[in-house]
Amino acid sequence: LYVKENTVLILVGNKADLESRRLVSTQQGEALAKELKFDAFIETSAKENDKVSYCFSKLVQQVVDNGSFLQNTLQNNLDGPK
> Each residue of 24-33: pLDDT tens digit?
999 999 999 9
Is residue 51 within 8 A of residue 44, CB to CB? The reply is yes
CA–chain centroid gap for 2, Å, is 15
Query: Per-residue pLDDT for 52 more than 70?
Result: yes
70 — pLDDT class (breaks 50, 70, 90)? low
Residue 23 is predicted with a pLDDT of 93
- CB under 8 Å to 26, separation ≥6 — which residues? 13, 41, 43
pTM of this prediction? Answer: 0.73
Confidence of residue 81 (pLDDT cuts 50, 70, 90): low
Which amino acid appears at position 21 of this protein? R
